Amino acid sequence: MNISSDLTNLVNSNQKLPKMFFESPVSWTDFISNDYFYALQACIDNKKYMNIYWTFYNKGLEIIFDNSAYELKEKIPNEETFCDNINKLNPDSHENFYYIVNDYFGDTKRTKDSMRFWLENYADKAKGKIIGVIQGNNLEECLDIYQYYLYEDRVKKIALNNALTTLTRRDLLQVLLDKNLLTAEKPIHLLGCKDNVLEYREYKPFLNYIDSIDTSSPVTQAMENISYGLFGNLKKSNIKIFKHLNDRSPTRFQKICLKHNINFLKSLFI
């Protein structure tokens, strides 16, 4: 794979890439060009992190505010606190501020009930646009919750969890495409990277519907002084960025790895 050539071809072809955000320690952000800001509820008490957030917000760039179900598990704040945090982070009611309603890993019913409760009690109070997450243990459950979001006008974007239990995101997207259920009117967000970054090359047929992705993979690999090879990353890093927000700036070698890894990831969409 010739990454430099692939990226040049991308520029010349005007091919649309999803908007990308790479989670990183605060001190690494100056070395990353992000298209939008993916804000974690688990990190909003960190002043340096929020300084970066407000830089993006004040420029009018897109924001996605994640409930941090992955980071906090069952300790995610209740809806009242989440709503308060949304409004604190979007004081000017920006049109391109999105937030992810509380979801529960592998539990379709609980996730749907959470969305119903939010729509009934908080949707009119929260300043922003709603994202619903696909959670399910099989294709039937995933299709059920996807169609619930698809036909609910107040849900503006649908996020695909990276750990669906019995099928891959690529498989689900193919089924949705075959059933004519994908639409650019309600685009897809890809939540993280499951195991190997090469996963992203499987989404080329669906780029008209994938609006954005977030991942820490290029960063966490660089933090361990690893550059992606021909076969991507050989193992998934155990580093959780929200626990490393205050890490020191990257070394010269880590900067090289970081640049290579981000370019490698982008080239997978070509």
Q: Which fold has domain 3-267?
A: TIM Barrel (3.20.20)
On average, the pLDDT of the chain sits at 93
Q: What would the mean pLDDT of 151-180 be, rounded to a whole number?
A: 94
Taking residue 43's Cβ as centre, other Cβ atoms within 10 Å add up to 20
What pLDDT, on a 0 to 100 scale, did the predictor assign at position 235?
Answer: 86
Q: Both tokens of residue 237?
A: 């890093």
Amino acid letter at 63?
I
Please state, in angstroms and rounded to a whole number, the distance separating the CA atoms of residues 81 and 99: 13
Asked whether residue 228 carries a pLDDT value surpassing 90, the answer given is: yes
173-207 pLDDT, tens digit per residue, is: 999 999 999 999 999 999 999 889 999 999 999 99
Local confidence band at 6 (pLDDT 50, 70, 90 cut-offs): low
**pLDDT reading at 62 higher than 80:** yes
Q: What is the pLDDT of residue 8?
A: 52
Summarised one tens digit per residue, pLDDT across range 29-60 is 999 999 999 999 999 999 999 999 999 999 99
For the chain, the structural domain boundaries read 3-267
133 has a pLDDT exceeding 90: yes
Tokens of 26: 């605060």
Asked if residues 102 and 118 have their Cβ atoms less than 8 Å apart, the reply is yes
Show the tokens assigned to 161.
């969890």
Residue 7 has pLDDT above 80, yes or no: no
Distance CA 174, CA 205 (A): 9
Provide the pLDDT for residue 250. Answer: 98
Looking at mean pLDDT, say which of 9-18, 184-193, 226-235 comes out highest: 184-193
